[in-house]
Amino acid sequence: MKNTFQANGWQLFFLVVVRVLLGWYFLYEGVIKLLNPNWTAFGFLKSSEGVLSNFFNQLADSSTALEIVNFMNVWGLIAIGLGLMTGTLGRLAAISGAILVFLYYLAHPATIEAQQLIGAGQALLVDKNLIFTVMLLVLFTIPTSYIIGFDRLIFKKKVYGR
């Protein structure tokens, strides 16, 4: 199947801006966790109320699993952020970010029960994690890093007629 999408200048500009901003967000979240010696995913996992809450609770209850989750979360956020910002392995960064953020969503879905626990002003069904997931999937399907990013140099591909 041939890809027929062709972004004009403004579309490409804003897709790259979205990619870089999401990258900055991921990088910042990872670095903040890395610099905080007391950070752990324990509380996030233990407070899970989604359909996978038993799984997330088991991860929190196992010290080995928790260490792996902490390491993968911090370094995953940093790697995803750098990949998105620089356009290096952009599709891998986008799909990895989508999976990670969707796991966050599954751990704490935007349900009526969650609204009552957290308080007013929270979204119902659609929250920032779900929006991030979809935006990252858009970036996965429209790999701007092949046009503006290091992937253009790495893969030397012509994408979308450019």
Q: Note whether residue 145 is domain-resident.
A: yes
What is the reported pLDDT for 68? Answer: 97
Q: Note whether residue 22 is domain-resident.
A: yes
Q: Note whether residue 4 is domain-resident.
A: no
82's tokens = 């750098």
> Is the Cβ–Cβ distance between 1 and 137 less than 8 Å?
no
> Is the Cβ–Cβ distance between 125 and 110 less than 8 Å?
yes
3-state SS class at 147: coil
Q: Note whether residue 5 is domain-resident.
A: no
Q: Note whether residue 35 is domain-resident.
A: yes
Q: Note whether residue 49 is domain-resident.
A: yes
pTM of the model: 0.85
User: Residue 30's Cα: distance from chain center in Å?
Assistant: 11
> What total number of domains does the chain contain?
1
Q: Note whether residue 19 is domain-resident.
A: yes
Domain that residue 111 falls in: 11-155
Q: Note whether residue 161 is domain-resident.
A: no
Largest CA distance in the chain: 51
The contacts of residue 42 (CB under 8 Å, 6+ apart) are 60, 66
> Is the Cβ–Cβ distance between 7 and 160 less than 8 Å?
yes
CA distance 29 to 75: 10
Instruction: Give, as one character, the DSSP assignment of residue 38.
Output: T
> Is the Cβ–Cβ distance between 93 and 150 less than 8 Å?
no
Per-residue pLDDT of the chain (162 residues; tens, 9 = 90+): 455 567 788 999 999 999 999 999 999 999 999 999 999 999 999 999 888 999 999 999 999 999 999 999 999 999 999 999 999 999 999 999 999 999 999 998 886 554 445 554 566 678 899 999 999 999 999 989 988 899 989 888 655 544
What is the reported pLDDT for 126? Answer: 84
DSSP H stretches of helix in 1-127: 9-35, 42-46, 53-61, 63-86, 90-107, 112-118
What is the reported pLDDT for 125? Answer: 76
